[in-house]
Amino acid sequence: MIANVLGGYFMRRLIGSAVMLFIVMSAVFVADRNIGDPARMILGDTGTEADVLELRLRMGLEDPWHVQYGRFVAGLVTFDLGETFRYGISKPLAHGGIPESRATLPIAAERLPATFLLTGVAIALSVLVALPLGIWAAVRPRTIGDRLVNVLSLAGVSIVEYWFALILILLFAVQLDWLPTSGYGTAAHVILPALALSLRPIGRITQIARSSMLDELAKPYVTAARGRGIPISKIASVHALKNAAIPVVTTIGEETINVITGVIIIETVFGWPGIGALTVDALKIRDVPLIEATIFLLVLMVLSINLVVDLLYALLNPRVRLG
Amino acid sequence: MAAEIATSEERQARVTGGDLLRALGREPVVLLAVVFLVALAIAAGFASWLAPYDPLMPNIFAGRLPPFSEAKGMTGAVQFHVLGTDALGRDMLTRLMFGAQASVAVGVVAVAISGTIGTVLGLVAGYYGGRAETLIMRTVDGVMAVPSLLIALFVLSLVGGGLVNMVLIFAFVRWVVYARLARGITLSYRQSSFVEAARSIGATDGRIIFRHILPNMLSPLLVLGTLEIALLILAEAGLSFLGFGLQPPEPSWGLMIARGREYLREAWWMITFPGLAIFLTTLSLNLLANWLRTITDPVQRWRWLI
């Protein structure tokens, strides 16, 4: 019965997310078609009119807009978002004429594992630090320790990630020479970018864990348990934790999404070969098909996380899934 | 006699500026944050008069000087640079003050626009319901589903950076948070007895919305607006850092960090001070919002005012 209700809920949310992805990509399509001639941008001022026309034909830009849009929608379904004529091509304009090309979605998808790794490490680190910190502060409200945690978590939320990243590089890579300044490959490479990304989620998750634990500890069953002589630390970690977890799970989901937008800047700073750095590159050279592919994957990731969080929420809180 | 009782009750219920100041005095950290924000506002507002030097004029005698250096200015007079100079010999303190102008302008103006639009739409959605509510709230869900920074980055890369574009885009992506808040509060008051009473004596919808419901959401809106200013200052700096926001030679904190990054090894002050400026500003705003939330919460207020 629960599985059925959950299944129906899941299907509704899944369809909603697909519709959302479709609307977002349509908006991107409309915006992208209004920034000038992509063929002229690829060939530059030196390209001849004939070459530009040929490239426009090949890119399908001479078709009426509804044909282009139909092809775009079909591409969304079949995971074919067009080809780039510039990105990752060794000699795009060597001999004049039409340059070679590569499909964009595989280029963007190749970047996903690096981003998953960085996001995963940053979020795992955040949860490991923030949950105990928040609970620790909640069992001793209004003490010096609690106030300190409060100010520190606010400082974490206010952090300027890329600036903090540069300070970390200056300190640990340039001055102390303990860790590499940038790059990808070994465990040492992931430490600084993950650290830079984790301060904000640590602050947010600590705040939410603390406040939801405080609410929970004020409830009668906790008073009853304390009356029976059970130490508060045990009540917090055994009895109250599960009930206090619901807002925390939502916050972890939101923070994962924030980290995914955070990687856009942090990957650029650390030369991390993820989808965030690729997005910035694509936007800088205004490579329309590549922009569409990176935004498609980023939005897909965000919507998927939202879906998972809502599902977890329904699992943890029966009032949502049955209501 | 009856009137006197009413006024004394009223006096008890209303929080005066003096009460606020006294409550603030008991929270030294928040007080410090407020002092910093006031100083920042003055530095930004009067940068043209207060700043020691020209924010744009390069000085070939003073490239990348560390803090507390003296150098000959382009006019021949000796200049003193408290926070050092950047790669083109421009005074860091001066540029920080003008950068504050950009940050504060983007944050405050975008919050004012998005807050007004979002609140009105949220009030309409919550009060009237029906098709208007469906349309407004579906749009809210749609805009909220995609991270604001990603939308801003994409649109800015198409239309180009600059102060006005940034304000407009931030207003467009952030009105949704106020709409959601305003709708939620309106829903909780729509059926309340004081709205019922106002309606029964013939008050118009506009009067009920703006005189009876809106005042009840000003505190949460104020808290949200403060948090949003912090968020937008961070976003402005981040987008400028990436090269999609304000464009050189405009002084912007994010741009200053981007420029300083090229001299990370040689000139630590070029990234340290603009980063600290952003961090302290957002931290102060967050502290202030946190405190405002506690003090405007009727359940917790008495703890702060007695």
pLDDT attached to residue B131: 93
CA-CA-CA-CA torsion sign (A79, A83, A86, A91): positive
Under an 8 A CB cutoff, do B146 and A302 touch?
A: yes
Check if B11 contacts A (Cβ < 8 Å): no
pLDDT of residue B171: 94
Calculate what percentage of chain B has a pLDDT beyond 70.
91
pLDDT at B67: 80
| Interchain contact B248–A (C-beta under 8 A) | no
pLDDT at A150 over 90: no
- Chain Cα centroid distance, residue B27: 22
Averaged pLDDT for residues B79-99 = 79
A164 and A55 within one domain: no
Cβ of B234 within 8 Å of Cβ of A258? The answer is no
CB contact under 8 A, B157 and A286: yes
Q: What is the ipTM of this complex?
A: 0.86
**DSSP designation for A181:** S
Stretch A247-262: mean pLDDT, rounded?
91
Residue A101: per-residue pLDDT: 79
CA dist B123 to B116, B184, B212, Å?
Answer: 11, 9, 12
Number of domains making up chain A: 2
A99 lies in the same domain as A118: no
| A121 and A80 in a common domain | no
Say how far apart CA B186 and CA B283 lie, in whole Å: 31
Range(s) of the domain holding residue A120:
112-273
Q: Is residue A317 part of a domain?
A: no
Three-class DSSP category at B172:
helix
Q: What percent of chain A has pLDDT over 90?
A: 26
In chain A, residues with a C-beta closer than 8 Å to the C-beta of B271 are: 163, 166-167, 170
- Write down which residue in A51, A83, A104 finishes a domain: A104
Q: Which one of A64, A85, A104 terminates a domain? A: A104
Q: Which of B158, B283, B287 sits opposite A35 (nearest CB)?
A: B158
Kindly state whether residue A319 falls inside one of the protein's structural domains.
no
Q: Is residue A290 part of a domain?
A: no
Residue B157: which of A159, A163, A283 has the nearest Cβ? A283
A23–B241 C-beta distance less than 8 A: no
**Which pLDDT value is given to residue B301?**
56
Question: Residue B302's pLDDT is what?
Answer: 54
Average confidence (pLDDT) over B15-32: 80
Say whether both A89 and A180 belong to one domain: no
Q: Are A148 and A225 contained in the same domain? A: yes
Rg of chain B on CA atoms, in Å: 24
- Please give the residue of chain A at the shortest CA–CA distance from B148: A261
Lowest mean pLDDT among A54-63, A124-133, B221-230, B267-276: A54-63
Could you tell me which chain B residue has the CA closest to the CA of A20? B142
Contact A163 B257 (CB under 8 A): yes
Taking the whole predicted model, whether its pTM rises above 0.90 is answered as no
pLDDT on residue A266: 92
Instruction: Give dist(CA B270, CA B109) in Å, integer.
Output: 28
| A82, A75 contact by CB (below 8 A) | yes
Q: Which of A15, A23, A24, A160 to mutate to test the interface with B (most CBs of B within 10 A)?
A: A160
pLDDT of residue A143: 86
pLDDT band at residue B49 under the 50/70/90 scheme: confident
Same domain, A133 and A98: no
User: How high is the pLDDT of residue B8?
Assistant: 44
Q: What is the pLDDT of residue B5?
A: 43
Q: Which of A104, A133, A153 is the last residue of a domain?
A: A104
- Give me the percent of chain B exceeding a pLDDT of 90: 41
Mean pLDDT of B258-262: 85
For A288, the closest chain B residue by CA position comes to B158
Q: Hey, is the C-beta of A256 within 8 angstroms of any chain B C-beta?
A: no
Continuous segment of H or E residues that includes residue A279: helix A275-284
A-facing residues of B in 135-164 (CB < 8 A) are 142, 145-147, 149-150, 153-155, 157-158
Is residue A150 in a domain? yes
Please check whether residue B36 touches A, CB under 8 A. Answer: no
Pairing verdict, β A102-103 and A83-84: antiparallel
| Strand residue runs (E) in chain B | 69-72, 78-81
The rounded Cα A203 to chain-centroid distance in angstroms is 17
Asked whether residue A11 falls in the same domain as residue A55, the answer is yes
Question: What is chain B's mean pLDDT, rounded?
Answer: 84
Domain match, A158 and A41 both:
no
The SS3 call for residue B71 is strand
Distance in angstroms (rounded) separating the CA atoms of residues A156 and A199: 5
Which phi and psi (to 5°) does residue B69 adopt?
-110, 155
B202: part of which helix (H) or strand (E)? Answer: none
Same domain as A55, residue A165:
no
What count of other Cβ atoms lies within 10 Å of the Cβ of residue A209?
A: 28
pLDDT for B166 equals 93
Q: How many CA atoms lie within 13 A of A231 on its CB side?
A: 3
How far is B240 from B165, CA to CA, in rounded Å?
12
Q: How large is the C-alpha radius of gyration of chain A?
A: 25
Say yes or no for a CB contact (<8 Å) between B230 and A158: yes
Q: Of the spans A74-83, A86-95, B295-304, which averages the highest pLDDT?
A: A74-83
Q: Helix (H, G, I), strand (E, B), or coil: what is residue B259?
A: helix
Task: Find how far residue A167's CA is from the centre of its chain.
Answer: 23
Question: Is A282 part of any domain?
Answer: no
A148 touches chain B (CB under 8 A): no
Same domain, A24 and A117: no
- Whole-angstrom CA distances from B34 to A45, B253, B277 are 54, 21, 15
Cβ neighbours of B294 in A, within 8 Å: none
Q: Which two tokens stand for residue A319?
A: 């009032």
| pLDDT confidence of residue B306 | 46
pLDDT in tens, A204-253: 999 999 988 888 888 888 889 889 988 888 888 878 888 888 889 889 99
Co-location of A123 and A95 in the same domain: no
Residue A239 lies in a domain: yes
A-interface mutation test, from B26, B165, B242, most A Cβ less than 10 A away: B242
| Size of the A and B interface in Cβ pairs below 8 Å | 102
Q: Cβ of A160 and B158 within 8 Å?
A: no
Residues A98-113: what's their mean pLDDT? 83
Q: Does A27 touch chain B (CB under 8 A)?
A: no
Name which of B138, B146, B228, B255 to mutate to probe chain A: the one with the most chain A Cβ atoms within 10 A of its Cβ: B146
Q: How confident is the model at residue A98 (pLDDT cuts 50, 70, 90)?
A: low
Q: How far is B115 from chain A (nearest CA, A)?
A: 21
**Region A306-317 average pLDDT:** 83
Is residue A43 domain-resident?
Answer: yes
* pLDDT tens column, B155-208: 998 888 889 999 999 999 999 999 999 999 999 898 889 998 998 998 888 899
pLDDT in tens, B136-158: 999 998 898 889 999 999 999 88
pLDDT (average), residues A29-49: 78
Model confidence at A31: pLDDT above 50: yes
pLDDT at B7 over 50: no
**Is residue A93 predicted with pLDDT exceeding 60?**
no
Judge if A100 and A31 occupy the same domain.
yes
Does A201 reside within a domain? yes
Q: What is the CATH number of the domain that holds A212?
A: 1.10.3720.10
d(CA A273, CA A183): 8
